[in-house]
Structure 1
Amino acid sequence: MARPVWAGNLAFGLVSLPVGLYTATDSHTIHFHQLQRGTSDRIRNKRINERTGDQVDLGEIVKGSDTGAEYVIVEPGELDDIAPGRSRSLEIAGFVDLEDVEPIFFDKTYYLGPRSAEYAKVYSILEQALAKAGKAGIATFVMRQLSAYSAMCRAAYG
């Protein structure tokens, strides 16, 4: 069985169901490494200060946003404070007509499914109810640090 990219609980009303989120597509992109011709030794990128040309240790690097006039510096600790934490629950905020959801706006497609066989029947009831009603559940959650995704709980994605 495929490994979920995220595991948590699907919550709607007073119901909570352990689920996993699975990628619906595979990347077929070929990834290359940089190698030195003749030796096949890997080449690594270094962090270089643009002004001085000196190499910079990772611990000396901070993130900054360019405002046009200057950089607003964000320290790693500050980034942790402002970044949303990984969601443990996928809370359905509401339901919409399935025909109103335009898949062209999705960045990636995922399948939602029960986390184990013992929850399959409960998940199937939800799936069938959504299919019969022609509805999709809309929820927002954080799957990875600083990456918020909207997930759809749709009967056809079970």
Structure 2
Amino acid sequence: MNYSAAAPYVWDPSFADAPDCLLSSDQCVINGQHYFVKGLVEIPVIGSDEVFSWGVWASLSRESFARMADLWDTPGREAETPYFGWLSTDLPLYSPSTVNLKTHVHSRPVGDRPFIELEPTDHPLAVEQRTGITPDRVREIAESILHPTGGNS
């Protein structure tokens, strides 16, 4: 019931050895100038109590990233005001691209990934987050991820 991107869209494996770059399971810094946090775009599955999740990356300002990092292990961090960010994961099942959709990154209790709320636009991913998806759509997503056919990206 979930798919997760290992790194932001702009990450390049050559960055791994650079002193001003970092990629962990939760945070990413590129060239000491671009800051990302991993979170979940959650989509309700219609007719069930289940939720489908996209594990995605959102870029944050230096200030927001620093604040979120400062509170990373702090109980009560979920009371923080959401941080503005840009979606930094390309989900090829969606057109137009999901890269650079506006988001709000909501902190959750320590140990839980942030919740990524998409701006309520007419983008198909934002619509699915607001209205939910059917179990058939979940199967379609799983099939596309497990058996990609190639094509444009």
Q: TM-score range by the shorter chain?
A: under 0.3
Considering Cα pairs closer than 8 Å and 6+ residues apart, tell me whether 1 or 2 has the greater RCO: 1
Report the structure number with the largest CA radius of gyration: 1
Q: Which has the higher strand share?
A: 1
Normalised to the residue count of structure 1, the TM-score between the two structures is: 0.27
Normalised to the residue count of structure 2, the TM-score between the two structures is: 0.28
